[in-house]
A and B are shown apart, each in its own frame.
Chain A
Amino acid sequence: MTGYGDSEQNAVILPATLTGAPSAGVIPYGGGPNVRFKMRVSVPSSESTVGVRLFDHVAKYTYTS
């Protein structure tokens, strides 16, 4: 996953659709979905805010039985 940062807002353009899940599934009530989103952003050395940012995400979902 790659993108380009905007120098004023630090916005990073990412694909609208992320792929990689092996299949669609059903989450049972109270089940712990094995879902993890990890994102790594590398700031090029040409920028003043050089470095690497790592983000972990919490998946929140609404369930109706």
Chain B
Amino acid sequence: MNGWTKFYADSTSYMGRDIDVYRGHASWRKSSLDNLVQVTLEHEGILLSIEGPGEYWQSDDFESIFPGGTKLIRRRIQRKIEPSNRFYRVDSSGYERGVKHSVSFQSNTSLGLLFPIRPQDVGKWLTLEYDVVKAKWHHKITQGRL
């Protein structure tokens, strides 16, 4: 089930499966962007997840060659870094269709793979990105949403 899912503070969710987005039945921008607590992105057995209340964004990169068609090359989810975020933690585990990589924000040191957030990173975007061509994922902090 390729696509993204928004999870809200009231325990509801909104799913943007690729097939629904393709048909115009689901939209990231047209569904609520408020009160989000988690966003996931699934692609071919890789599940990326960012957890924590805040501002989120999702985008895909395409490459178009004429003639030759258009190819999906990268997918990502992002969350804006807030002043209270001191570290982010990366966890990887199995799920029913593959491997899940999740990021959660921490205010204090805790067990797990921790990455520090510098004061100058506040307002930037923590980005989880999946390279469809290389079948690899990575995390990074970017200046703005993409």
Interface residues of A (CB under 8 A from B): 28-36, 58-65
Contacts and interface: CB of A to CB of B under 8 A. Distances in A.
Nearest to A60: B63
Given A64-B59, A65-B28, A29 B64 contact: no
A58 B59 CA distance: 19
A31 B26 CA distance: 16
B65 A30 contact: no
Contacts of A35: 64, 66
Nearest to B65: A58
A60 B62 contact: yes
The contact size tier of chain B is: 20 to 34
Given A29-B22, A30-B18, 20 more contacts: A28-B22, A28-B24, A29-B60, A30-B22, A31-B70, A33-B70, A35-B66, A36-B66, A59-B64, A59-B65, A60-B64, A60-B73, A61-B61, A62-B146, A63-B59, A63-B62, A64-B60, A65-B21, A65-B26, A65-B27
A29 B21 contact: yes
Contacts of A63: 59-62
A14 B66 CA distance: 22
Nearest to B26: A65
Nearest to A32: B70
B7 interface: no
Interface centre among B16, B59, B64, B73 (most CB of A within 10 A): B64
B61 A64 contact: no
Contact of A32 (B26, B29, B60, B64): B64
A65 B73 CA distance: 16
B58 interface: yes
B16 A65 contact: yes
